[in-house]
A and B are shown apart, each in its own frame.
Chain A
Amino acid sequence: MLSTNRESPPPAAGRAAMKKELPDQFKDHRHVWVFMELERDQVHPVSFELLGEGRKLADKLGVQLAGVVLGPPGEATWFAIAEAFAYGADLAYLVEAPLLADYRNEPFTKALTDLVTNYKPEILLLGATTLGRDLAGSVATTLLTGLTADCTELDVDADGSLAATRPTFGGSLLCTIYTLNCRPQMATVRPRVMAMPPRGNNKIGRVIQHKVSMIEEEIVTKVLGFLSDGQSATANLAYADVVVAGGLGLGAVENVKLMKKLARTIGADYGCSRPLVQKGWMPADRQIGQTGKTIRPKLYIAAGISGAIQHRVGVEGADLILAINTDPNAPIFDFAHLGVVTDAIRLLPSLTELFTHRLSPHSRDKLAN
């Protein structure tokens, strides 16, 4: 039951399946592709993160990096292509068709598998978003190739094979997975797991346009509506610079307010550990961790959170982790940078008050004078 639903422990090294015997039909597969996730005219930032990783892989392999854009005719697709170049792509593949306006599995799977069959990439990366996972599963099954989900590290080994490392058993273990005898080697990566690469300027490259061999009448699924999460910050938690979160140590639903108040004071977003969602104290999309969001803020303040492995995997990318917990042996102190063993319920109001003091324009003026 490892990573990919294995029913038994992985085989010992040296088995036939572990050897690379790439069939001839795959020998002309070249280049690294990154699927540029475009939904409702927005490029998902995970695509840029993937371009950063893809660039490194392509350089190691000495091949080109391509961005793949599927979408309706219009400015958004060309904007996505320009962005792909700005973040390091050498070339781009574009399939433009009105039936690619809203994400639906059928036309996107068709378009992406057609592109792969025609232009033969060696590696294909997608974001582990709802869209990316939906699409990757269908494409990999259609192509009968390997797909490794939610990777946290990608590398190329001496053989030129993609080594994809991912957490398994809820983060208790990591495993490195290869797709030796099929192409492309496919992997998904969650948003915010890879660092955002720097944005270059004005780089341009070749754009290869392809047509999707499908018409609207063939597509059974229709989009009736879309309700955006809108301005509610929920969708942005993964991209927030500062996050304050509370765990069961907050003790009671009223105390969640203390945590939210601190967050508001310092302009942070807020989240929680899983039990708070299970208790109904917080909505599910505020959950941080393995089955919630991965965050990568500059500052993460965890109040009354034990730091179980499933929580840890979602916050490890933070630059500065600050933990408030009454238990000096809480696992969170193993990966936090700064810790204080104290009652969060008493500390949070003081933190809010002193931050207010320190950050208010009034006190800043005083400092300046």
Chain B
Amino acid sequence: MHIVICIKQVPDSAQIRVHPVTNTIMRQGVPTIINPYDLFALEEALQLRDRHGGEVTVLTMGPPMAEDALRKALTYGADRAVLLTDRHFAGSDTLATSFALSRAIAKIGEAFGTPDIVFTGKQTIDGDTAQVGPGIAKRLDLLQLTYVAKIVSVDINGREITVERRSEGGTQTLMSKLPCLITMLEGTNEIRRGSLDDALRAARSQIVKWNAADAGIEDLTKCGLRGSPTVVKRVFAPPERAEKAEQIDTAEKTPRDLAEELIAGIFLRQPALESELAFDGE
């Protein structure tokens, strides 16, 4: 089977700093990582390949430096990496991103075999939209299975797949057909450490680099800023809360004293709570 997985190189948002004056992200020195959710998807893809045979192709759209993320994915055991990079993609919103990625996936299909499954993570940690996966599915007319927590079974010959998918308040078991697009939730599988062989192979591997034309994209108006119906008008820092928390003085007080003051403080600010809090002691 052939699995294509889309990954994204993102700044490690835990370490992001915002410039106090210009309100822009200070990227210098901020390490980049593979979007964490994509790693769960990658692991799932690799397990399916290990079980059923076939190949895993990783795809990313981004600046030339996104090659690092692809090489990392190869060290985990992916078989092939494609970097879609072109200045025409700059400023893409989710609609334009899903267009470019879907064209590249179609091209990957022509070059290396039609994918049976396309994976993405459930969302990225910088954009956080969870829209690119569904966008790609729609553009490629693939069945879409989002928020998948577990792949229960894949029947390659019967072209059938069964998954467990999170929904509000429960878990749905769905049966669908291949080919399909899956967006993967976190935390289902332990992410592997690649083998030494994979690391050596990754270091030697050629990464396939495509620009818009290579990916078969003729209509550049569907890409980048021009292909993006959404427009960012303003970027700003969240407003500061005017006053800091009122501090309870802790000097020479026992935990009991503090607890008493804290409770008094709560009911002083929210008198109605006292009758609402349900007492459920033994």
Interface residues of A (CB under 8 A from B): 1-11, 13, 15, 17-18, 37, 39-40, 42, 44, 102-106, 109, 129-131, 133-134, 136-138, 140-142, 144-150, 163, 167-182, 220-229, 235, 241-242, 264-268, 277, 284, 290-291, 298-299, 308, 310, 319-323, 328, 332-343, 346-347, 349-351, 353-356, 358-361
Contact = CB atoms under 8 A, between A and B. Distances in A.
A211 B115 CA distance: 35
23 contacts: A3-B127, A6-B91, A18-B233, A130-B167, A131-B168, A138-B138, A163-B233, A169-B126, A174-B238, A181-B229, A228-B170, A266-B278, A320-B266, A338-B266, A339-B246, A340-B262, A342-B255, A342-B258, A347-B255, A355-B259, A355-B263, A355-B277, A359-B277
B274 to A, nearest CB: 8
Contacts of B111: none
Interface string B159-172: 00010011111111
Contacts of B228: 4, 17, 146
A136 B106 CA distance: 23
Contacts of A235: 168-170
A38 B98 CA distance: 28
A141 B25 contact: no
Interface string B248-271: 101000111011111101100110
B78 interface: no
Interface residues of B, number: 101
Interface string B111-150: 0000000000000111111111111011100011111000
A130 B235 contact: no
B1 interface: no
B173 interface: yes
Contacts of B91: 6-8, 10-11
Given A141-B139, A335-B241, A350 B256 contact: yes
Given A2-B235, A5-B92, A354-B263, A168 B131 contact: no
Interface of B: 8, 10-11, 13-14, 16-18, 23-25, 61-63, 89-95, 97-98, 124-135, 137-139, 143-147, 162, 165-177, 186-187, 225-226, 228-238, 240-241, 244-248, 250, 254-256, 258-263, 265-266, 269-270, 273-274, 276-281
Contacts of A358: 263, 274
Contacts of B171: 226-227
Interface residues of B, dominant DSSP: mixed
Contacts of B143: 105-106, 220-221
A265 B245 contact: no
Contacts of A44: 168
A7 B93 CA distance: 9
Given A7-B63, A7-B90, A178-B230, A173 B266 contact: no
Contact of A141 (B89, B98, B262): B98
A177 B177 CA distance: 36
Given A1-B10, A224-B162, A354-B259, A174 B235 contact: yes
B172 to A, nearest CB: 5
A249 B124 CA distance: 28
Contacts of B175: 221-222, 224
B263 A177 contact: no
Contacts of A349: 255
B159 to A, nearest CB: 10
A264 B265 CA distance: 20
Given A138-B134, A147-B230, A340 B278 contact: no
A167 B123 CA distance: 14
Contacts of A341: 247, 250
Given A149-B129, A173-B18, A322-B262, A4 B235 contact: no
Nearest to A183: B229
Contacts of B266: 299, 320, 322, 338
B25 A180 contact: no
Contacts of B165: 130
Which of B24, B174, B261, B281 gathers most chain A CB within 10 Å? Answer: B281
A189 B5 CA distance: 28
A163 B232 CA distance: 10
A177 B126 CA distance: 16
A333 B244 contact: yes
A177 to B, nearest CB: 5
A176 B258 CA distance: 43
Contacts of A17: 225-226, 228, 231
Nearest to B234: A176
Given A172-B16, A179-B231, A284 B187 contact: yes
B168 A39 contact: yes
Contacts of B62: 7
A148 to B, nearest CB: 6
A11 B234 CA distance: 10
A293 to B, nearest CB: 11
A335 B245 CA distance: 7
A356 B277 CA distance: 11
The 5 closest A-B pairs by CB, nearest first: A137-B134, A267-B278, A339-B245, A146-B229, A4-B93
B262 A169 contact: no
A354 B89 CA distance: 60
